[in-house]
Structure 1
Amino acid sequence: MNPLQQYGYTDRVARLFSLHPPTTAAPAASPARVVRADRTRLLLATEQGLLRVRSHEVLVTGDWVAVTGGEDPRIVGVLPRWAVLQRKRAHDPLPEAQLLGANVDLVGVVVPLDRALSVNRLERTLVAARDSGAVPLVVLTKADLSSRFDAVVADTVERARGVEVFTTSAEEGDGLDDLRARVGAGQTLALLGPSGAGKSSLVNALIGRNMQDTGRVRAGDGRGRHTTTARELVPIGDGAVLMDTPGLRGFALWDAEDGLAAVFGEIEDLFASCRFRDCAHDAEPGCAVQLALLSGALGERRWRSYRKMQRELESLHRRQNPPERRSHDRSPKRAVRDAVRGKEHRQGWG
């Protein structure tokens, strides 16, 4: 297996390259994958090995590119992304997407078992994972440190609502074989979670060597240091790849209406049963949502969580589209959905 195959190059990727040749006139170019992106400095995996290049294009870990050979290698094309993992960039005065990874097949939402379950974080990350185009998983870590193991696992499985859940312990090796087997040849699994969640220890355990530094975690609040400083691809054998990511303190959504609908599908299904098509699901007669809340079929906390993220996305769309650019004959929800369908980051060759 050559170095490029170790980073997920398969017949599928080869076919995509043949369907999307670079438009830029350039010497013979070869496929490569972005292993790590540090602003304009890129580490690429090629058939010959790892290669460092500079590029002024906005590229992200996981991108497939065409690169020329010789003493001055250049990127001359970028393969269309089939999956894009992103969030809203924090603390920016204007809304902007932060790309976390591209061309991932699985997204592992990492949940540490040595602390209380953050249902809000779990749901938010699952929404982003669903919206990316990848298949979401939940990866429970630090099983050996949990004093309420059975209860927390059961609660997480219930909250995940049909998403596969893997329980692991990097220290004792529990669950690692099952997780490794879930990542098929040529597939990429991105790991997302807070700092101190055990992602680096999990990566080390899966590859069988100490590649990622692991940081100490404060006993008082369970928080750790950011031991992974950049998103990076890590081969784990047979063409399967991990994408390790730095710990994320928060997760603001970016154009994730489709993901929201997928994760909260039972709520969106209720909308079709409301008496009025423009029901605001507040105090209108015949509101299926309010009936579900009264009967207990829909939990109040889950409804509030859905509404909070829905309003967040609507607010984001309004900031992206000032009044003079918005169509006044569309509801905010429909406007957000239309914006999602035209995501600017799922683009062709650069």
Structure 2
Amino acid sequence: MPFQTFSLHQLGWQPEYARQLALADFEAGYPARVMAAHRSGLMVMSSRGHDAVVLPHHLADAGDGVAVGDWVLVEHEAGRVLRLLERRSALVRIAAGGDHRRQSIAANLDVLFVVSSCNEDFNPSRLERYLALAADAGVAPVIVLTKADVGGDVAACVAAAEQLMPGVPVIAVNALDEASVSQLQPWLAPGMTVAFVGSSGVGKSTLTNRLVDSASQRASGIREDDARGRHTTTAREMFPTPSGAWVIDTPGMRELRLASTSLELGSVFDDIDTLAARCRFRDCQHDGDAGCAVEAAVADGTLDARRLSNYRKLQREASHAQQTQREQRERSRQFGALTKEAMRAKRERLGR
């Protein structure tokens, strides 16, 4: 099936991207948006069409890496990325494994659909984690509860989700029903970019297929006896929808460690922040401190102990990410010093 051609405006191009480029940049290359990222390179879309381009090592290894949704400048005729444009927003996590590497999930999003299902997968603490991810990225979240047709108490799940972050829309859908999925249309205006995040088997790929009106992704079933799904997406990709919006599907994440070193939890846990303002001491840690209004609220039942526990956990992760980043900078500084010393010693040997 041939690829469609889209204008930059249809691809989500904004004036702020153009302001990053000088006339010399446009003479050297053309702007394109990353549709998919593979080990061998990137698939990009521009007003010229769909192209496979090479990503130089110095760009691949810089920062959090290039993500689907990024805008890049591609060298004319050479098919090589010259530079990565500054992002409007980015979802970043700590990659799975022990190297604590920051990894971009998606870039330049307008809306983040946080997906859970109305079965055993429903987990308020996990939803709070994804909401914190959205708040840190500056992306508007929408909670989407799938399997509304086969799940348990849908109304109870919706009510519980609405309590997590007041003001965030909560939509219950049957991903297999077009009329039900049409509830998401208000967030799918032309040029908008949205992404689905959530654990495996909750229906992200099924929703994506429904929105893009395509069976290009094959959604695996879910084992209803334990509510655990099989991975249906193995790489992040971006797809156009009939409405003119763009959808980024992401693999189910077994582990989502937040990468922010200055995580702003107030928007997600504003109830705890409001209570904290009443604590006796301004530096109250809400963990056995005298006069703690937060713990008093837990004791009298006005604050869920689970919610406070998750708040503390996310705070610890942000503190750990900050410490890890400092350690990585120090290791980089030490490696640079060793490299300079080795080069100096080599020059001295050659000079003898």
Q: For the Cα contact (< 8 Å) 2:261–2:319, is it kept in 1? A: no
Identify the match of residue 110 of structure 2 among 94, 105, 113. Answer: 105
CA contact (8 A) 1:255 1:313 kept: yes
Aligned-partner Cα distance in 2 for 1:248–1:319: 22
Return closer, same or farther for 1:262/1:204 CA change in 2, 3 Å cut-off.
same
Please list, as runs of the form range in 1=range in 2, the aligned pairs for 1:232-311 lying within 5 A after superposition: 232-255=237-260, 257-311=262-316
Deviation at 1:149, TM superposition (A): 2.2
Q: CA deviation at 1:24?
A: 7.7
* Matched position secondary structure for 2:128: helix
Runs of 4 or more consecutive aligned structure 1 residues displaced over 3 Å after TM superposition: 4-7, 22-28, 256-259, 322-325
Q: Which residue of 2 aligns with 1:54?
A: 54
Return the match for 1:66 from 73, 84, 91: 73
Alpha-carbon distance, 1:139 to partner: 1.0
Instruction: Give, in angstroms, the shift of residue 205 of structure 1.
Output: 1.1
Identical columns (%)? 36
1:176 aligns with 2:188: no
Superposed CA offset, 1:31-75 (max 9, x none): 2100001134100001021110111223110001122332x2222
Structure 1 residue aligned with 2:155: 150
Residues 54-133 of structure 1 aligned to structure 2 (within 5 Å): 54-56=54-56, 57-58=59-60, 59-70=66-77, 72-92=78-98, 94-133=99-138
Deviation at 1:176, TM superposition (A): 1.6
Q: Say which structure, 1 or 2, has more relative contact order (CA 8 Å, 6+ apart).
A: 1
Structure 2 CA distance for partners of 1:5 and 1:114, relative to 1, 3 Å:
farther
Contiguous gaps of at least 5 residues in structure 2: 61-65, 331-352
Judged with a 3 Å threshold, the aligned counterparts in structure 2 of structure 1 residues 23 and 248 are, in CA distance, closer, same or farther, namely farther
Q: Structure 1: state its 5+ residue gaps.
A: 326-350
8 A Cα contact 2:263 2:315, kept in partner: no
- Partner-residue secondary structure (3-state), 2:171: strand
SS at structure 2 position matched to 1:3: coil
Worse-matched range after superposition: 277-286 or 38-47: 277-286
Larger radius of gyration: 2
TM-score by length of 1: 0.84
* Aligned partner letter, 2:125: N
The two structures have a TM-score, normalised by structure 2, of 0.83
Q: Which of these residues, 3, 8, 11, is aligned with residue 8 of structure 1? A: 11
Deviation for aligned residue 1:267 = 1.2
**1:183·1:240 contact (CA, 8 Å) conserved in 2?**
yes
Aligned to 2:190: 185
Aligned partners of 1:230 and 1:6: how far apart in 2? Answer: 25
Contact 1:68 1:74 in 2 (8 A): yes
SS in 2 for 1:262: coil
